A = this chain, B = another copy of it.
Amino acid sequence: MVELTKRDQEVLDAVVTDYINTGEPVGSRTISKRYGVKVSSATIRNVMADLEELGFLLQPHTSAGRIPTDKGLRFYLDFLMRYKSLEESERTMIRQAFQGIHKDLRETLRKTSRILSTFCRQAGVVLWPKITSTRFRHIEFIRLRPHQVMVVLISKSGLLHNHILDLKDDIGQDELDKYSHYLNDLLENVPLGEVKRRVLEEMKKEKVLFDELYAKALDMSQRVFQENLESGDVFIEGQTNLLNNPEFSDVQRLRRILEALEDKSRIVKLLDMTLETTGGVRITLGSESELKELREISLISSPYWRGDTLLGVLGVIGPLRMDYSRIIPVVEFTASLLSELLEEPEMV
């Protein structure tokens, strides 16, 4: 890593700040006049030339000002940015937006992503909790027709997962009810991530080996849990906010972005990447994500929790040029509010 002098950093800071505010390339004179840099524009020109050589800035064309590269932006985000703390009035507004939320988890999450989008004027995203991150509450088998059964799985957090199984044998509803009953007793409160193991353990027990009903029930539950319960879902709201950004007024570019957002699996992937960390707010520039369709966008994300269980990620998607210093606190605050809300006992 190349060392940047104090002054280099000041200039980089000023360029990024000004660029984020105006969206225009920044000239040397602007910096020496408007930001507290105590040298002349000529000196700044020299510094900027250095920064360009180091890959932090670039010139759209000769005789234009400089704009930050991804590398420059990343340096700014990591080392230079000072973010304002959220004003009390804004906190109150966000808190109010969460008022009157119902007990329905789904609606809560959708509303959260709407709140993010309106307060940040960009697209808001919320990654669903993975059903495996919570505990078993209830399983139910419903016979739809001969050889076909619908399985409804409910997690402690009130998440619902349903699924259709084809069976070799035809099993009556009464017997299915017995299965449900047995499994509900067996698996009560078991973390869904551990159910598989628990079922295997149980299968080895003597009472199961000699009881066809138990064996069948476990066999069926196995089929359910080997399904991919992981595949997350995501809410994206306020995509139209993206149209406000002048960088997306080019229809071709906008098209690329919206197409990328339409394929939710890609967004899930992106959000999943940021899920691994334990930290707070994290910023991912599209170019760092290996998904080249997302090159022109940036994600500000934060995990949300219930107690100390990591449930999912929420965040804001927008252009690389965003008002990070404002959006970061909003994302942070929203994540903490949501986590708080999810901890309340009457919240499923």
Contacts and interface: CB of A to CB of B under 8 A. Distances in A.
A321 interface: no
A144 B157 CA distance: 9
A140 interface: yes
A258 interface: yes
Given A239-B258, A243-B258, A251-B249, A142 B164 contact: no
A contact patch SS? mixed
Contacts of A154: 142, 150, 152
Given A152-B140, A240-B258, A262-B240, A160 B158 contact: no
A241 to B, nearest CB: 10
Nearest to A251: B249
B348 A144 contact: yes
A152 B243 CA distance: 40
Given A240-B262, A243-B258, A137 B142 contact: yes
A296 to B, nearest CB: 15
A150 B155 CA distance: 11
Nearest to A259: B240
Contacts of A254: 243, 251
A145 interface: yes
A104 interface: yes
A154 B249 CA distance: 46
Contacts of A142: 137-138, 140, 154
A60 interface: no
Interface residues of A, number: 33
B255 A239 contact: no
A148 interface: yes
A21 interface: no
A88 interface: no
Interface string A278-300: 00000000000000000000000
A100 interface: no
A103 interface: yes
A345 B142 CA distance: 16
A85 interface: no
Interface of A: 102-104, 137-138, 140, 142, 144-145, 148, 150, 152, 154, 158, 160, 162, 164, 166, 237-240, 243, 249, 251, 254-255, 258-259, 262, 345-346, 348
11 contacts: A102-B164, A137-B144, A144-B158, A144-B348, A145-B345, A148-B346, A150-B154, A160-B160, A238-B262, A239-B258, A240-B258
